[in-house]
A and B are shown apart, each in its own frame.
Chain A
Amino acid sequence: GAVVSQHPSRVICKSGTSVKIECRSLDFQATTMFWYRQFPKQSLMLMATSNEGSKATYEQGVEKDKFLINHASLTLSTLTVTSAHPEDSSFYICSASRLAGGLTGELFFGEGSRLTVL
């Protein structure tokens, strides 16, 4: 199956610093990638939809200036948590879709990145 790789898998940073998380589709081109946030023992919350070559679309309540998303190529999307604070600590998961015949394709998920802000 398709592979989506996320890096880093774990990151610890000091409050006030910025952290970048990469999401790569390794064996297919993904025009659309999605970023999710998962709080402990909770479901995935869609943060934003990342479209190659255009601005990301953020879900209601997600601060676009806090969570910067860049989708510079068909295989790479990045999420930058700017001026991170302890409440930003979470498990961030990216996913990519490979369209099949014009239908909605399944989502392929990265391994997730656990961010801890001290």
Chain B
Amino acid sequence: AQSVTQPDIHITVSEGASLELRCNYSYGATPYLFWYVQSPGQGLQLLLKYFSGDTLVQGIKGFEAEFKRSQSSFNLRKPSVHWSDAAEYFCAVGYNFNKFYFGSGTKLNVKP
């Protein structure tokens, strides 16, 4: 069965520090991979996506993610976190023409 794992429930980083959020997936074929961000009480906003090609993808707000097939991972990174990045981040796997499954989410806190 397909699954998405985000092993970190909460992460706290200082403003200006680097960030890496982990995501692992379980799926037979190469999936379509996404990272979404959700602010409290809001819907989800797409940060970036990977379909094929270059395994390092750039997204909005300075985020990037790297697809590593050998590790079944798609970790999200940002070199310098801003206070406005505090939110919950969801990794998602898409397959079968748009059926998406989400990880359990990682809540990011940013210390001043």
Contacts and interface: CB of A to CB of B under 8 A. Distances in A.
**Interface range on chain B (Cβ under 8 Å from partner):** 20 to 34
B63 interface: no
B109 to A, nearest CB: 14
Contacts of B34: 106-107
B43 to A, nearest CB: 4
B49 to A, nearest CB: 5
A67 interface: no
Interface in A30-84: 32, 34, 36, 42-44, 46, 49
Contact of B103 (A43, A93, A99): A43
Nearest to A34: B100
B46 interface: yes
Interface in B2-57: 32, 34, 36, 41-46, 49, 51
B44 A43 contact: no
10 contacts: A32-B97, A42-B104, A42-B105, A43-B105, A93-B43, A104-B51, A104-B94, A104-B98, A107-B34, A107-B46
Contacts of B90: 43-44
B10 to A, nearest CB: 10
Contacts, number: 63
A28 B41 CA distance: 25
Contact of B102 (A44, A49, A105): A44
Contacts of A112: 41-43
Contact of B98 (A4, A42, A97): A97
B102 A109 contact: no
Nearest to A4: B43
A103 B95 CA distance: 10
A84 to B, nearest CB: 20
